[in-house]
Amino acid sequence: MKHTINKHSWAEPYKMKMVELLKMTTRQQRIKAIKKAGYNTFLLKSEDVYIDLLTDSGTNSMSDRQWGAFMTGDEAYAGSKSYYKLEAAIQKYYGYKYIVPTHQGRAAENILSKILIKKGDIIPGNMYFTTTRLHQELAGGIFADIIIDEAHEPLNDHPFKGNVDLAKLYKLVKEHGASKIPYVSLATNVNLAGGQPVSMANLKELRAYTSQHKIRIIHDMTRVAENAYFIQQREEGYDKKTIKEIVFEICSLTDGATMSAKKDALVNIGGFMATNEWDVFEEARNLVVVYEGLHTYGGLAGRDMEAIAVGIAESLDDNHQRARVGQVEYLGHRMMEYGVPIVKPIGGHGIFVDAKAFLPHLTQDQFPAQTLAAEMYIDSGVRTMERGIVSAGRKANGENYYPQLELVRFTIPRRVYTQAHMDVIAESAANVYDKRKSIKGLKMVYEPKYLRFFQAKFQKM
């Protein structure tokens, strides 16, 4: 019999050369471990975790080429060869003129916020990210969410849920004046919306408007290649363009960037700040010495800069991105088959389960997402992360933010897990879903002052 198969699998464009062995645990051991961790998956010991979906940050597998480059790192204190390689890669692939390396993304956010924000400034952004907003606030700014409303609706399958609602921006400019808005904080593939992309058309409109009002666009480009993949797949006129071309075009529509290289760029540590403005660069070079290290290493070892330079190029390969997002989509489809409520469309870096829909009998004050993350761990040793009321934290006046999205993030590290691992995760989510009605909520018994989701502790109700 002749078979005609038109579909090609998303299978990986690499094979394994080294593996890391894992400890297998029993349900009893996991119940004990999560209780000890105050029902906070951040406080688990990683050796007690089977499949670690806490984050896609710094958890990637490096390639043989990256490890090769790693060995050639130039560890000079000043003027390291590796710095110039990193600078060249950023200029070539992203097009930004000036760069300052930092040990990770939030360090770049700290420096940039200090330079650009004055007390009382408004920072519009397409949904907040925890560290980004905190640095904006610590610098005296006030964050204003200008993402489209669809981004706050888990089931709305708008193809570009990361888009900016320009009407919301016009309103802010009218209310406060453009001089109060140093920049628009634009993230590509918006993390907390569920890994949702911005369209090129939207970005072009934003560019036209902000240029007219002399407002910068600062690009949180942590997951820009994943965003480019979605533009290639979904946006008219981009299906023949390469991810490399699309990423370059995105960056060309912005004035500067902060980057956590721990995501897209396929490394375990690193980041940078980039700008096209000489004055901003000069100031950043002054500040990086205070917080990170000299401007030619910014808190990184030479070998780290080497690995990032190679990782940037690998992240822009079309086959890599197809396998990367393909694996995430595979997991999402498996979970949907079991009826597990997830954010749609499926995002770039993970599956976001709608905890409000999963555990409708819990109020948001009973921390449905935190509860679900703990239950997933108990069921199978899969570690996920709360992205709901705990992550959202408190306003300056002490009140809780009550985010519309109450999600559990199943974040997929790049080039780490197999399709069989994806099956285990989906089956475990289905198990927990089957007994959802018997699951009780949590109460918070310890709350740290900043970024409470990292260290808060809970007890079962």
Residues lying near ligand F0G in the complex (CB under 6 A) are found at 55, 57, 104-106, 129, 131-132, 187, 191, 220, 222, 260, 262, 271
Closest contact distance (angstroms) between CB of 195 and ligand F0G is 10
Using CB atoms within 10 Å of the CB of residue 95, give its burial: 0 to 12 exposed, 13 to 18 middle, 19+ buried: middle
> Whole-angstrom Cα distance, residue 234 to residue 424?
30
Q: Are strands 271-275 and 256-260 parallel, antiparallel or unpaired?
A: antiparallel
Measured from each CB, the residue nearest to ligand F0G is: 105
| Residue 303 annotated as catalytic | no
* Among 55, 130, 131, 371, the one annotated catalytic: 130
Phi and psi for 61 in degrees, rounded to 5? -90, 130
* Among 48, 52, 56, 220, the one annotated catalytic: 220
Closest contact distance (angstroms) between CB of 129 and ligand F0G is 4
- Nearest CB to ligand F0G, comparing residues 278 and 454: 454
* Among 36, 64, 65, 77, the one annotated catalytic: 77
Among left, alpha and beta (phi > 0; psi -120 to 50; other), residue 228 is: alpha
> Whole-angstrom Cα distance, residue 80 to residue 83?
5
Closest contact distance (angstroms) between CB of 148 and ligand F0G is 18
166 bridge partner residues: none
> Whole-angstrom Cα distance, residue 391 to residue 389?
6
| Residue 35 annotated as catalytic | no
Q: Strand runs (DSSP E) across 8-130, as ranges? A: 51-52, 98-102, 122-125
Beta-carbon contacts of residue 3 (< 8 Å; ≥ 6 apart): none
| Residue 130 annotated as catalytic | yes
- Nearest CB to ligand F0G, comparing residues 223 and 322: 223
- Nearest CB to ligand F0G, comparing residues 257 and 316: 257
- Nearest CB to ligand F0G, comparing residues 220 and 292: 220
| Residue 220 annotated as catalytic | yes
| Residue 272 annotated as catalytic | no
| Residue 183 annotated as catalytic | no
Closest contact distance (angstroms) between CB of 386 and ligand F0G is 11
* Among 30, 263, 409, 415, the one annotated catalytic: 263
Closest contact distance (angstroms) between CB of 4 and ligand F0G is 42
Among left, alpha and beta (phi > 0; psi -120 to 50; other), residue 321 is: alpha
Closest contact distance (angstroms) between CB of 401 and ligand F0G is 17
Give buried/exposed letters for 177-194 (b at 16+ CB in 10 A, else e). Answer: eeebbbbbbbbbbbbbbb
* Among 70, 83, 129, 238, the one annotated catalytic: 129
| Residue 453 annotated as catalytic | yes
Closest contact distance (angstroms) between CB of 259 and ligand F0G is 8
- Nearest CB to ligand F0G, comparing residues 107 and 342: 107
Closest contact distance (angstroms) between CB of 385 and ligand F0G is 7
**Degrees, nearest 5: CA angle 132-137-142:** 105
> Whole-angstrom Cα distance, residue 123 to residue 178?
11
- Tell me the residue type at 11: A
- Tell me the residue type at 35: K
- Nearest CB to ligand F0G, comparing residues 173 and 307: 307
- Nearest CB to ligand F0G, comparing residues 271 and 403: 271
Residue 152 gets which letter from DSSP?
G
Closest contact distance (angstroms) between CB of 349 and ligand F0G is 8
* Residue whose C-alpha is closest to residue 364's, from 400, 396, 398, 397: 400
Give how far the C-alpha of residue 201 lies from the chain's centroid of Cα atoms, to the nearest Å: 22
Q: How far is CA 40 from CA 52, 54, 162, 209, in A?
A: 14, 11, 28, 43
* Residue whose C-alpha is closest to residue 391's, from 444, 342, 453: 453
Give buried/exposed letters for 115-130 (b at 16+ CB in 10 A, else e). Answer: bbbeeebbbbbbbbbb
- Nearest CB to ligand F0G, comparing residues 109 and 362: 109
* Residue whose C-alpha is closest to residue 327's, from 62, 60, 94: 60
- Nearest CB to ligand F0G, comparing residues 30 and 106: 106
Using CB atoms within 10 Å of the CB of residue 397, give its burial: 0 to 12 exposed, 13 to 18 middle, 19+ buried: exposed
Q: Which residues are catalytic?
A: 77, 129-130, 220, 263, 387, 453
